[in-house]
Amino acid sequence: MQRWFVLIALLGCCIDASAATKVDLDGLGWTFRTILDPQPLPISVPHSWPTMDVYQKYIGTAIYERDFDEPALIKGQVIRLHFDAVYLTAAVWLNGRKLGVHEGGYTPFEFDITGLLKPGSNHLMLEVSNAPSIGNIPAIATSHGSKEYPPDGTVGKGSIVGWMPYGGIVRPVSLLISETVYLHGMKVDARPDFARGVAALTVQVRVHNAGATALVNVHGTVAGITVNFEPMRVDSGTDAEMKWMGTLKNAHLWSVKNPYLYDAKLTVPGDDLTAQIGVRDVRIRGTELLLNGTVVRLFGANRVSEDPKEGLHESDEIVQRDMKDMLAANMRMMRIAHYPQAPALLDFADKHGMLLIAEAGNWNMSAWQMADPEIRLLWEKEMREMMEQDWNHPSVIAWSVGNEYESFTKSGIDWTRDMRSYTLGLDPTRLITFASRFTLDPAVRTGKDEASQYSDFVSINVYGNYAKGFDRVHELWPDKPVFVTEFGKMGEPGLHDPNRIEDITTAVNAIKARPWMIGGSLWTWNDYRSLFPGTPSSGIRNWGVVDLDREHRDSWNAVEKLFKTELP
């Protein structure tokens, strides 16, 4: 039976730090010290401590502090302390009072500090840890590997994540000043009707009332159409959700070839949310992926989020520089990383017609971790934070519920079924997948023996022996499209890499020869630092077609030719 999905641009984010009056807390004025240091060092935020030579391999806790003056407030205004991201966990104190703890190193969070500030100078302190545990997201992986099948609940040998744990306040910090009623997120669903040339718009907005019970009016424009929500009474200290529906005539579609974007803005007194949206239709038809009715078969690469000087911070200029180079190499569709991405990366993908699979959290988890109720709740929280941050982007066509977890176990199959349901409950408009490395495992005799049965398209990580691996996946799930989320080879460290070129060429030709395969995402575009076992003594894993300093290898030129294809 044919399964159809209409995926559209979803607008908004859980927290928009640009709308209310904003007071930057970035730059100088901060100090940093680890819990082993006798004295703090002056630093500038955003900050990733592994970029500092002496702390390059430090895994543990650090203290960030700064003073700031109380901003001028008008009576009745509220003020929030907003963090774009802190890796990996952050406990926050203001004037000696603990505000709370946030876990998850890539997504925004904030605290209402109205009434907690004092006249004159105020003191902010964060206790930040980049130390993973078996219960973190991403966790220390305890996977037993593909040759052992112990019962669920058995703990295997632990392994740190494969990328650098860039601890620190890795993205901007600010104070947000608004009226007591402010916007807490919005989402636009634009479903195209090709026959009529229109799109059905559903606009949802969430408001928060930090003051007395009030009648709230939200209005704005979406794609040039005036949007007025029915006034709603919102009780003190609560959130409320509103919905508006309308029709966009002469809808201009967003596509890879023509990534057309519309402007959208919603407003309440003293606050607004703005974004750009795209109208596009993505669906599965048999073993094909269609974008606006055209078959999609595209290639791309994973990109490890780091810069030699900036670490995980990655300024907008760094992100745009890298994405331009990926685009020049015809990298158009990819599972781009194992974790939520910087907003600038998704903005670039929207504007340049790139298709992304967004992934959060479950990196190589074992069966017992996926069965643990607390880990499940933590993953759901972090997945929701990523989705609410990213579902405004037309470039995001699918959500991934994990990478290389023990998908051949009962707990792995249950996880995929349950997290598919959870994710679709939040956003029913996108496809669901995960990156599997167990499709060739002897334990997987039929499609019912592995969790890819719950993927809308099967995503696989394959290194070598490509034709055999691809054909086996098609035998297991003959009615599903297949995307290669990882392939490639750790090649020569210099710029001349014939072995890597040979491996990539073999993989891409094998993908192109099989009509049920919809593309592949190379591991990786860039070399990256790592503490993962087996990393060369240099501390750099040489998987990229560009090196750590973004110099092109010969394989970049090979990829640019191999990945060139017709754009939908």
Q: How far is CA 239 from CA 77, 267, 426, 477, in A?
A: 17, 16, 17, 43
What confidence score (pLDDT) does residue 250 get?
A: 97
What confidence score (pLDDT) does residue 136 get?
A: 87
User: Using CA atoms, how far apart are residues 382 and 486, in angstroms rounded to an integer?
Assistant: 23
Q: Tell me the chain's radius of gyration from C-alpha atoms.
A: 24
DSSP-derived 3-state class of residue 403: strand
Identify the burial level of 214 via C-beta atoms within 10 angstroms of its C-beta, where 0-12 means exposed, 13-18 middle and 19 or more buried.
middle
Identify the burial level of 559 via C-beta atoms within 10 angstroms of its C-beta, where 0-12 means exposed, 13-18 middle and 19 or more buried.
buried
Three-state secondary structure string covering 510-545: HHHCCCCEEEEEECCCECEECCCCCCCCCCEECCCC
What confidence score (pLDDT) does residue 12 get?
A: 35
List the pLDDT tens digit at each of the 568 positions of the chain: 333 333 333 333 333 444 689 999 999 999 999 999 999 999 999 999 999 999 999 999 999 999 999 999 999 999 999 999 999 999 999 999 999 999 999 999 999 999 999 999 999 999 999 998 888 888 787 765 544 434 444 445 667 888 999 999 999 999 999 999 999 999 998 999 999 999 999 999 999 999 999 999 999 999 999 999 999 999 999 999 999 999 999 999 999 999 999 999 999 999 999 989 999 999 999 999 999 999 999 999 999 999 999 999 999 999 999 999 999 999 999 999 999 999 999 999 999 999 999 999 889 999 999 999 999 999 999 999 999 999 989 999 999 999 999 999 999 999 999 999 999 999 999 999 999 999 999 999 999 999 999 999 999 999 999 999 999 999 999 999 999 999 999 988 899 999 999 999 999 999 999 999 999 999 999 999 999 988 999 999 999 999 999 999 999 999 999 999 999 9
Q: Do domains 27-130+165-171 and 296-562 have the same CATH topology?
A: no
User: Using CA atoms, how far apart are residues 214 and 202, in angstroms rounded to an integer?
Assistant: 25
DSSP-derived 3-state class of residue 324: helix
User: Using CA atoms, how far apart are residues 197 and 431, in angstroms rounded to an integer?
Assistant: 24
Q: Indicate the helix (H) or strand (E) that contains 386.
A: helix 373-390
Q: How many residues does the chain have?
A: 568
| Cα 507 to the center of its chain, rounded Å | 26
Top CATH class of 27-130+165-171 equals mainly beta
Q: Are 182 and 546 a contacting pair, CB within 8 Å?
A: no
What confidence score (pLDDT) does residue 157 get?
A: 60
What confidence score (pLDDT) does residue 7 get?
A: 35
Q: Are 227 and 244 a contacting pair, CB within 8 Å?
A: yes
What confidence score (pLDDT) does residue 158 get?
A: 67
Q: Which fold has domain 296-562?
A: TIM Barrel (3.20.20)
What does the domain layout of the chain look like in residue ranges? 27-130+165-171, 179-280, 296-562
User: Using CA atoms, how far apart are residues 38 and 279, in angstroms rounded to an integer?
Assistant: 56
User: 119: which DSSP letter?
Assistant: S
Q: Which fold has domain 179-280?
A: Immunoglobulin-like (2.60.40)
**Alpha helices (runs of H) in 391-489, residue ranges in sequence order:** 410-426, 466-476
Closest to 353 measured CA to CA, from 328, 329, 327, 335: 327
Q: Two tokens at 189?
A: 């669903």
- pTM exceeds 0.75, yes or no: yes
